């Protein structure tokens, strides 16, 4: 039988399936490929940052990104309080930098002056990547275990390269 948009054969009430077990759903999310970015900010005089694979372009006018940060992340509170942040969309050649920000054990290796601009007048800015943006925080939305941040790019730089992609707890 062909589907007829004028007279759909769907029930009026949606059928709700049982939610998957948390471990099963974590596995589903691990298989969702996504671009990788380092989000950075200042926490007083200390640079802070973390790796996200939840970043997406939200709009062109105004130029906005949306990304999610786990509330238990070490720099969650600093990011939520910061008026601006840096967004570095990583390139395939930036895999080692991604691992520095993916692991809290490697946090002493972060923000090397050889790889980062640490001018106090702007958020920490990574020299590499596919693109970099200085953003201002517009909205923070509570989403249970995470916060959703909506940020607007004040300025951005594009350096065409192959992107780094997160997939199955690794990078492609």
Q: Domains (ranges, CATH) in the chain? A: 22-171 (2.30.110.10)
Computed over every residue of the chain, the mean pLDDT equals 88
pLDDT (tens digit per residue) in 41-90? 999 999 999 999 989 999 999 999 999 999 999 999 999 999 999 999 99
97-117: average pLDDT: 94
Please tell me whether residue 133 adopts helix, strand or coil conformation: strand
12-16, 120-124, 128-132, 146-150: the lowest-pLDDT one: 12-16
Report pTM. Answer: 0.84
Length, in residues, of the chain: 172
Please tell me whether residue 127 adopts helix, strand or coil conformation: coil
């Amino acid at each position: 039988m062909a589907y007829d948009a004028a007279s759909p054969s769907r029930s009026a009430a949606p059928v709700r399936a049982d939610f998957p077990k948390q471990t099963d759903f974590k596995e589903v999310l691990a298989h969702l490929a996504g671009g990788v970015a380092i989000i950075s900010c200042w926490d007083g005089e200390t640079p802070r940052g973390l790796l996200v694979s939840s970043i997406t372009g939200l709009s062109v006018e105004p130029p906005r990104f949306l990304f999610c940060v786990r509330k238990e992340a070490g720099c969650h509170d600093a990011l939520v309080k910061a008026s601006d942040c840096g967004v570095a969309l990583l390139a395939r050649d930036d895999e080692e930098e991604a691992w520095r920000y993916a692991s809290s054990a490697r946090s002493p290796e972060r923000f090397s002056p050889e790889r980062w601009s640490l001018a106090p007048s702007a958020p920490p800015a990574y020299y590499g990547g596919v693109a970099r943006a200085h953003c201002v925080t517009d909205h923070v939305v509570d989403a249970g275990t995470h916060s959703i941040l909506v940020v607007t790019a004040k300025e951005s730089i594009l350096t065409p390269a192959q992107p780094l992609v997160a997939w199955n707890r690794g990078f492609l």
